[in-house]
């Protein structure tokens, strides 16, 4: 038989009142946060789905920002490459005029002076800093000016002020186009076109004069060709290394030079070939291709290696010097040919940048369609139905007030009631 003590009705009433207050507080918190699920026990299955949706939505937001950044970056690169192409068009016009044979030596020198100023402007475009404060054409060395101008007096010029500050050469100090952005799940886009790609004119050739007939790799190591790692095993011969280079995705063809019996490399497109031994490995140094300083940021060829293939700036410098010398035959043959090669490469890089723009633009549009869909799915799982919540809150509030009124009648709290 259950014993009913004096405090039992009071304790029971307080217990159920606190439960109602807790339910009222819970639904008020849900309304304030617009969330149907505050704790996993509210709906375990929906909570697990909501966590997955939130994680995926966060990744989509990151992809959307990356795609938007890539779009803006490509737009900047496109503008500067088009300006460079326009300048090259003017340089080619001067080259054609200088090759006609109808101008005096003084006229040719005036053309050379104009070409020198156009060359400076092209270098300025190549050293452009983007809106994010990074060099557009320096690759992964984004805070290093990619091209350095060396000025002086060239053969054929005179002592006039406009001919004493001629560009003697332009040195590339940037690195490869290594920056990438993830614009979709496990899908990346290359952000940069390095200066060694955008402002190159000829396919490079590198010939080692070191006879490597009896070469054997002394230890396991690796080297890099245009940023692609080529593994080397102990005992590898020159032919094995050639095969590994050709099997890699690097835009370089390798073979054994029949004359020197050394390693020969040739670019499959116009770009600066970048070579580097991995730390602790000396394969390319042993083959006589690169120097011991192993600096990947600039041409580091071995002094004994034969290297050919120049940049856009080299092409302009050659024609300008020929105009100063009055060598119209060179201007009309190699000069025009070099200009055509330079413009062809710039236009191909413009096309590459345009294709990346198109891809990123379509990805960005897809993400902007997918994000609302995922947001809607997340809302179905975790968002609160305000109409239902307001009704429940009203019912709980009404029941709570009724319980308080009933408790006030059943459990009087005056001193006289306790004394009776």
How confident is the model at residue 227, as a pLDDT?
85
Model confidence over 85-111: pLDDT tens digits? 999 999 999 999 999 888 898 999 999
Give 179-202 as a DSSP string.
-EEEEETTEEEE----HHHHTB-S
The whole-model pTM stands at 0.76
Q: Is the pLDDT of residue 160 over 70?
A: no
pLDDT, average across residues 301-316: 92
* Angle between helical axes of 386-410 and 8-33 (0-180°, round to 10): 160
Separation between Cα atoms, residue 247 and residue 264, nearest integer Å: 15
pLDDT, position 39 = 61
- Per-residue confidence (pLDDT) for residue 93, from 0 to 100: 94
Distance CA 402, CA 410 (A): 12
- The whole-number pLDDT of residue 257 equals 93
Q: Do residues 60 and 367 make contact, with C-beta atoms less than 8 angstroms apart?
A: yes
Contact predicate 233/217, CB 8 Å: yes
In total, the chain counts a number of residues equal to 420
The mean per-residue pLDDT over the stretch 229-243 comes to 94
- Average pLDDT of the segment spanning 183-203: 90
Q: Give 4 or 19, the one with higher predicted confidence.
A: 19
| Res. 48: pLDDT tops 80 | no
232 burial level (CB within 10 Å; 0-12, 13-18, 19+): buried
Q: What is the 3-state secondary structure (H, E, C) of 272-325?
A: CCCEEECCCCCHHHHCCCECCCCCCCCCCECCCCEEECCEHHHHHHHHHHHHHH
Q: How confident is the model at residue 23 (pLDDT cuts 50, 70, 90)?
A: low
Buried b (16+ CB within 10 A) or exposed e, 295-320: eebbbbbbeebeeebbbbbbbbbbbb
Instruction: Output the six-digit token pair for 381.
Output: 């799982």
Q: Per-residue pLDDT averaged across 192-205, rounded? A: 90
Among left, alpha and beta (phi > 0; psi -120 to 50; other), residue 308 is beta
What confidence category does residue 230 fall into, taking pLDDT thresholds of 50, 70 and 90? Answer: very high
Residue 55 CB-half CA count within 13 A: 7
Q: What are the C-alpha distances in Å from 285 to residues 208, 213, 222, 292, 305?
A: 10, 15, 12, 6, 11
Distance of alpha carbon 100 from alpha carbon 271, whole angstroms: 31
pLDDT at residue number 221: 92
pLDDT recorded at residue 151: 86
Confidence of residue 140 (pLDDT cuts 50, 70, 90): confident
Closest CA to 337 of 103, 99, 113: 99
Q: Highest mean pLDDT range out of 29-38, 168-177, 247-256?
A: 247-256
pLDDT category at 1 given cuts 50, 70, 90 is very low
- Please state, rounded to an integer, the average pLDDT across all residues of the chain: 83
Residue 194: per-residue pLDDT? 87
Among 154, 88, 99, 117, smallest CA distance to 334 is for 99
pLDDT tier, 55 (very low <50, low <70, confident <90, very high otherwise)? confident
Instruction: Report the half-sphere exposure of 75 (CA within 13 A, side-chain side).
Output: 9
Q: Can you name the residues that pair with 221 across neighbouring β-strands? A: 232
Average pLDDT over residues 236-244: 95
Q: DSSP alpha helices (H): ranges in 127-282?
A: 195-198, 238-247
Please classify residue 134 by burial: count the beta carbons closer than 10 Å to its beta carbon, then call 0-12 exposed, 13-18 middle and 19+ buried.
Answer: middle
């Amino acid at each position: 038989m259950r014993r009913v003590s004096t405090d039992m009705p009071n304790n029971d009433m307080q217990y159920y009142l606190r439960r109602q207050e807790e339910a009222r507080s819970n639904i008020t918190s849900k309304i304030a946060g617009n969330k149907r699920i505050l704790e996993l026990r509210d709906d375990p299955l929906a909570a697990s789905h909501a966590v997955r949706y939130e994680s995926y939505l966060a990744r989509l937001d990151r992809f959307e920002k990356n795609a938007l950044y890539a779009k803006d970056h490509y737009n900047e690169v496109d503008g500067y490459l088009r300006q460079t192409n326009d300048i090259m068009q003017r340089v080619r016009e001067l080259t054609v005029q200088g090759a006609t044979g109808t101008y005096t030596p003084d006229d040719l020198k005036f053309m050379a002076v104009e070409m020198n100023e156009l060359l400076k402007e092209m270098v300025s475009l190549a050293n452009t800093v983007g809106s994010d404060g990074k060099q557009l054409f320096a690759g992964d060395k984004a805070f290093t000016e990619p091209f350095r101008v060396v000025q002086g007096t060239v053969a054929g010029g005179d002592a006039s002020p406009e001919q004493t500050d001629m560009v003697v050469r332009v040195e590339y100090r940037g690195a490869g186009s290594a920056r990438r952005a993830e614009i979709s799940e496990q899908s990346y886009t290359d952000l940069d076109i390095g200066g060694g790609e955008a402002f190159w004119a000829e396919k490079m050739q590198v010939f080692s004069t070191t006879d490597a007939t009896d070469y054997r790799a002394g230890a396991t190591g690796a080297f890099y060709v245009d940023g692609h790692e080529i593994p080397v095993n102990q005992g590898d011969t020159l032919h094995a290394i050639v095969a590994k280079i050709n099997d890699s995705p690097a835009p370089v063809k390798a073979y054994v030079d029949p004359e020197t019996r050394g390693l020969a490399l040739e670019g499959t497109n116009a770009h600066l070939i970048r070579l580097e031994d991995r730390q602790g490995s000396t394969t390319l140094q042993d083959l006589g291709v690169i120097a011991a300083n192993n600096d990947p940021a600039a041409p580091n060829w071995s002094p004994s290696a034969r290297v050919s293939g120049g940049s856009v700036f080299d092409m302009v410098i050659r024609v300008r010097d020929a105009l100063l010398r009055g060598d119209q035959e060179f201007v009309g043959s190699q000069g025009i040919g070099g200009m055509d090669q330079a413009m062809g490469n710039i236009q191909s890089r413009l096309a590459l940048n345009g294709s990346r723009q198109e891809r990123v633009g379509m990805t960005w549009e897809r993400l902007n369609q997918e994000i609302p869909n995922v947001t809607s799915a997340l809302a179905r799982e975790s968002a609160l139905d305000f109409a239902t919540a307001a009704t429940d809150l009203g019912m709980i509030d009404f029941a709570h007030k009724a319980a308080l009124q009933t408790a006030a009648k059943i459990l009087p709290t005056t001193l006289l009631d306790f004394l009776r």
